[in-house]
Structure formats: C-alpha cells, structure tokens
C-alpha cells in the first residue's frame, strides 16, 4: 500500500518564493510601463537613448505588453497558490491549508502587488529602459496567448474610434505643468 508522499517545508517555501518573485517582477514591469508617459519615450528617442525605440513601440501598442505581463502574472499566481496549497495540505493537513492560504495571500498582496507597484511607479525613469527589454522578452515568451487575447479584445473594441487625448485634457496638462513649475 503506497501512501501520499509527505510534503516538505522547504518545497512549500520554494513554491511561495517562486510565485511571489515572478509576480513581483510582473508588477514592477506593469507599474513602470504604465507610469511612463509617451512624451518621456519621445524625449529618449530624440536623445538617441539605446532602447528608446523599443519603449516607444511598447507604449504605442500598450495592449500587447500589458497582456504579456498579465498572462505571466496570472500563471504565476495561480500555479503558486495551487502548489503552495497542495504542499501545505501534505505538511499540515486540511486544517493547516486555510492558515497557509491566508498567510500566502497576505504575502502576495504585500510583496507582489503593493511594494513592486510602488517601486515601479516611483522609479519608472530609472527602470523603464531595462523594463522594456524584459517586457519584449515576455511578449515572445507568451506570444500565442498574447495573440489570442489581442484577437479577442479587438472584437470587443473594434468600433471604438476615440481620440486619445482631448483638447480639454491638453489644456489641463498645460495648467498642471504651469502650476507645478514644469512649463
């Protein structure tokens, strides 16, 4: 009679760190990309900064990089929760799964959502060029799913012909820039 193999605490920790690490990276990349204005990408391109064209392309086609990031993040979170929960069940039994799940959820929220998004939105100027290189790699890695998501979202939004920035928004940006002493 064979029994279910016992879980190990080190494997549980490894699964948790792997999932949180991948999700951390995805959140930093997402916040960095979304915090970077297209005008900054244009400025870098005018200065012939290496990687600026790639960044501008990603910003101009934002759905593709965001899809790649969210696909990988969802896979990491889902697989991580499954593996951590399964390993917790082997180690602690069914009563421990709830406790481990609650701890894992708090860790994911803190270390793969709040902290990395704060980092990405605060340090986007420094992170954006290396982030754009990593994001391009993620697009290649997740390409079949990105392609599928693009096709589905185009069906939903194909009749949406809206101007990206209205006159009123430009006026508000100028006003804000003047108030902040940028213009």
d(CA 42, CA 130) in angstroms, rounded, equals 17
pLDDT tens sequence across 84-137: 999 999 999 988 999 999 999 999 999 999 999 999 999 999 999 999 999 999
Q: Which pLDDT score is estimated for 175?
A: 82
Helix boundaries (H) for the chain: 9-35, 38-46, 52-60, 63-92, 94-109, 115-122, 124-141, 143-157, 167-179
Q: Which pLDDT score is estimated for 161?
A: 56
Q: Which pLDDT score is estimated for 4?
A: 54
Q: Which pLDDT score is estimated for 153?
A: 86
Residues of the chain with pLDDT under 50: 1-2
Kindly report the CA angle at 65 between 79 and 80, in degrees rounded to 5? 10
Residue 144: which residues within 8 A CB-CB, separation 6 or more?
none
Q: Which pLDDT score is estimated for 1?
A: 44
Q: Which pLDDT score is estimated for 3?
A: 53
């Amino acid at each position: 009679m064979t029994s279910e193999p016992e879980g190990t605490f080190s494997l549980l920790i490894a699964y948790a760190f792997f999932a949180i690490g991948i999700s951390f990276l995805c959140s930093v990349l997402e916040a960095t990309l979304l915090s970077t204005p297209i005008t900054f990408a244009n400025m870098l391109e005018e200065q012939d900064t290496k990687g600026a064209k790639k960044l501008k392309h990603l910003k101009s086609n934002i759905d593709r990089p965001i899809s790649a990031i969210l696909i990988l993040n969802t896979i990491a979170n889902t697989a991580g929760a499954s593996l951590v929960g399964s390993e917790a069940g082997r180690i602690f039994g069914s009563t421990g799964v709830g406790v481990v799940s609650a701890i894992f959820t708090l860790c994911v929220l803190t270390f793969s959502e709040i902290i990395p998004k704060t980092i990405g939105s605060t340090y986007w100027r420094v992170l954006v060029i290396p982030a754009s290189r990593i994001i391009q790699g993620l697009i290649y890695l997740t390409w079949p799913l990105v392609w599928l998501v693009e096709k589905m979202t185009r069906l939903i939004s194909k009749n949406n012909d809206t101007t990206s920035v209205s006159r009123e928004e430009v006026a508000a940006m100028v006003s804000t820039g003047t108030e902040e002493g940028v213009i």
